[in-house]
Structure 1
Amino acid sequence: MDSKLMEFLQLLVKNKTVRIGDFITQQKLTARQIRYREAKINDFLIENGLPKVTLKNGVYMLDLSEQQKIQLKELITNIDPYDYKMTSEERQEAIALLLIATNDYITSSSFAEKLSISKRTADSDISKLKTKLFPLNLKLDAKTSKGYRINGSERDIRNLCVNLLMRNIKLESKQYTDFLPLGQIVHEIYCDLYLEKVLEIIHLVEEDEGDKELTYESKLMLLMYLVTMIKRMSMGNIIEDYPELYDNQPQNRKYSIALNIASQIEDKFSILVPTKEIYMITMYLEGIQYIVPERYLKTDWMQMQILIDEIIQDMSKRMKVDFTNDKELYIDLQAHLGHTFFKIQHNIDITNLDLKEIKEKYLTCFNHLKETVKENKSSLLKGITDSEIGYLVLHFCSSLERRMRMLPPAKVAIVCLNGAATARLLRESILTRFSNISIIAVLPKVDLQLLRKMELDFVISSINLGNIDIPYVIVNPLLTEKDYVEINKMLMNYSENHTAKDDFDLMYSEFINNETIKDVQHQQDDLDILFNQSRLKLYQLLTPSYISFYNKARNWREAVSISCKPLLKNNDVNEMFVQSVVQSIQEAGPYVVFSKGVALVHSEVGYGVNRLAISLTRFEDGVIFNHPLFDPVKIVFCLAPNDYSSHVQALQGLLNLLEKYTIDELCEIDNSYDLFNMLERERW
């Protein structure tokens, strides 16, 4: 049982039901890979006399009795981590991490022993790894009897290491948890000596920034870079290919923080951090984001969640880029728009001194966002100006840059008929701008047979290639900003859609060949759910078991505790969720009371949340939340948001409910099924 099988099973044991889309987005698995894991897990369950996993309407279910749960947990506990069977991809990542952690040569026999595989399998994995390293400007240096060593620029080696570590480490509540089995290697080589001390350094950075907390991705990225840097420096490998733009720039706030980090590294690890390394730390600091907890960001929280989701969805359609999976974009827009609405409400002028430059550089994005804002009917956007739209454009551009960093390298050929010098300039311009594009060839003429042999991801061409079977993008030989945008789109859309589309076609063709026409249609419906999962509506979440009437509470804390009970009972949340809800109200005040007699309490996104859920609890005598206008509160909605967008449809349903029915009318309903049937009838 490999690591992803184990995590798949643990999620089912923990939650009982898991949407298939969660596996696709969280574990980065294709539908076909999920079906394979389902079959392997069912083999394991049947072998141990337990019920199989079932799939219905895009949701996996594992229905176990309490005794069976105990039995399965014991089975999982007794599995030796080193008995896991790694996938070929995991073994290749392990080999790369082992090579990065030493300057010496390592033989394939050593890899085989370390990974508990045959030498033949190790040789095969090494051969595959060589192919993957080539587009990253890295290669394996092989010497007879000595083995293999990784070669390339120090910056490229570190980039690879950071990406591998980020894929194989999780941070939960500021604690390190390893992903078995690759996590064992990560822990042993990179984390035992460095991780805790580096976390202490990052926590001090957060304190120096006024107790602002780094977002999860930012903290993980900075942590993994510093761990990699310290490991490589301890081996005598110093960065040479550093960002030279910092040479001539005045020392800014980020550079000062980098100096502080370097000083602490020197103290804790007894190694000298040269200026070049400080520049690299500064570069990483330029890309980090903080969670901003100012009180006024909580104002109109529900309307803001809906608005941000609408903006992101509309921009995704206009730009033909899926922004909806970028958690940091949701965080950034919430923080930024909180400031914006605060300024608009208090008649504070918003001036963007860089607006002209933003329009020139990001005109396409600016125009799309301006149209999005213009067509949105939210009252929150009333009074928003071009200056503010210009600032918002930068958040979407930052999202594009983040996505570019995370994309796998693409194999690309250039077709340029404008002469050798122009072709060379085009090649260098692309390589300078796109670190994850590997240019396989530059062709002075159209040769489709040659292009097909190269197994390219796509082609960048200075001319129209007509109706060919290879994706391509047409650019000006002297690249403009619009050309860069088009290459960006091709790089992202192809990387995102290729695997999913191929997998869809493959699965669908299997169903056509193996099932009756009736069954094909049924499976087609399941696939539609898989690839186009709609967000759950309020009536799908607020079922009768989550609705409670005739409650009493002495204060708002007790009301929160009571409203959390259905979520705790159904294992949607844990006690950390309750603590987060209480802490949010303590820090930000009674912003949760958004209408007369109605409150929406919630945790920070994902904190203590196992899955998306919402409850409705009614307090007949009302509860004081210390709101200046809307006390006493008689209805408390308790929301457990598992991400930044899945709950938005339910929030819209909640608003619809309160627009159609007054608080007094809702208090007259005396049966939870009556309320549920009303929601279901309206399809809210």
Structure 2
Amino acid sequence: MKRRSWDIARRLAAGTPLTLAQLARENGVSERTIRNDLKEVDRELGRLGLAPVSFDHGRLVAPPGIVALLPTLDGMDAQSYQLAPEERVAAAAALLVSATSPVTLAELADRLAVSRNTVINDLDAIKASIAAVGLAVDSLPGKGLLVVGLESLRRTLLLDIALGALQQGAPPLVSLLPLGGDPRMLATIVTEQEGPHGIRLTDISFDEVLTYLRVLVGRLERAAFIEEQPPVDGAPFAMAQDVLRYVAQSCHVPCPESEVRFLAWLLAGARRLSGDERRTDVPQIQLVTRKLVERVSEELGVDLNDDYELFQNLSNHLEAVLRPEPVTYPDTDLIREVLAENDEVVAAVRKRDAIVRAYVGRPLDELEEGYIALHLCAALERRRLRSGTMRVALACNAGVGTSQLLAAKLRRHFNFSIVDELGAHEVRLLDPSEVSLVISTVPLEGCPVPSVVVTPLLTDEDFVRIGAAIDRLEPSSVPGDETAQRLWRRLEPVVRRHVEAPDELLDELLRELRGYFRDAERGTGPRGDFGALSPSLRQLLPASRIRLDVAARDWRAAVRTAAVPLLEEGLIEGRYVDAILKNVDENGPYIVLSPGFALPHEGLDQGTVEAGLTLVRLSAPVEFGADELDPVRYVCCLSAVDHSTHLKALFSLVNLMKDERARAALDAAEKPEDVVAVLKDWEAREPGGA
């Protein structure tokens, strides 16, 4: 039995309360690894005729008689935790490989807590272990030892040493390794990306990837970047991109393209579970996410529907974890603390999570609800941070009392610094260097500062308008918020002013921009919101896929009519439409998302060929059996081929169909080109739009 398993058994026998999360945190490994250690303990218990270790509300429960296991451990004691000779060699190799300047023998001896003679005796073995991966050790007179060679070879050796130390449960050796990042956070990132990318790792491969990420963060924290790597295509590269995007954000380290490629190479060679397949119910989960955000927003009284990052992150999370059997979550003190401080958000999720429970077919446990709440808490924090640097003036002609009431309501939802309250005629005197935004209850003329008009009652629509106004501000107004979509919004009108037929040129420019932001070094360039440069709504929904005032005798005919443009272009197969109709027959009108709007769609394995959208406006609305959401006038058929290509367009479409002004413009459209104009106008003013 390895040392970590022995330690767990000893502590259980002593009656020490233990949890998986606690043991993972103490040993710097994933909970999967601790579960494997428990299997080893259970094997020893079984050999003695004892029951295995069980769980009670997250705590490990030792079976009666576990003390009988202790004599089988061959007298292991605390002294066994000192570095063994082979561990000492590994530790010295890791210290040398990680160093950026020569290391003396005395320094090595001090770090290893041994004599200088011991290091001298180990030196040949140390050099041999380093040379085995293709690195060399130079002895520099008067300076010490310096390892020479590629960063990729250094990473390989560090990964091998770290894996061995973690798997064998050798705390002193682990403490000497240059590992970075919170293993629980990194484990969550990898877990959440397995499902969307169709890569389900075995426990051994999962631990290898997790350990490599700890090596990677540790090296990047020391500005040790990997050299250029050959390209890797397919799901491993896509997963590596997404994993490192979140690692860069969470650990505050840059992750250039070469790092993505090396991780992709590691993922490509990883062992995976049999039956490994990408989730095919991605569009359904994304719409479940959309409805959940909408309902929790209503409960909290804060509109989060325009937060694309929340939609993207939460849908990725639910893709990874929504399964018939609950997924095991890390239960940590930090998470408990965050949830305790945001009990209002947790309560809102618990009260309005029926859409998720209905989809998965079971209740959600406390931690499942908690992790959903964490994503919402992050969105609320982004909202506060986004507005926290802003100096706002209020303009109101109804008196000081009304402006003070308006200020009080705003402070409940935004962290504005309200610097002035004035009449509409006074806004001409404002200094743009002193005020970022004016919020007014009346239209303004001659205002030198960006402004937004709201009602004194501050409705949900007003909060959306304020959010949109914040997003439209120049980057200088909100320091550090220069994003991909802001760049696009500045370029597009320039092209349209100077080019007679700009759409083809704009499409080509957008493709180039996507390529640029994919290749940019994460963490050192623009923020990694690559979804902002995914195909826009008007790109997936051109005039050729729009039909106006079409007659349909019932909902079935409406769905078939909406699918026709996709069928004609070869974007879907005929069985896709049949699958939609069958699903509605069996599960009800899940495709009706808001009053008068239905989005027929199916899973990725039901006959989709290429991403696309259609829009059909019925001449006479039809009933779908969706109660208060009936009758339906607009039917949009969605074809999705993966979890991300269509995501930005879907987000825009669902928001557009809830907007009264946009719906009125759609109602007034006389030809498909008029609808395209509505889409362009919407995306120009939509919060986070491109």
Q: Which has the larger radius of gyration?
A: 2
* TM-score over 0.5 (shorter chain): no
The normalised TM-score by structure 1 is 0.31
> Under a length normalisation based on structure 2, what TM-score does the superposition of the two structures give?
0.31
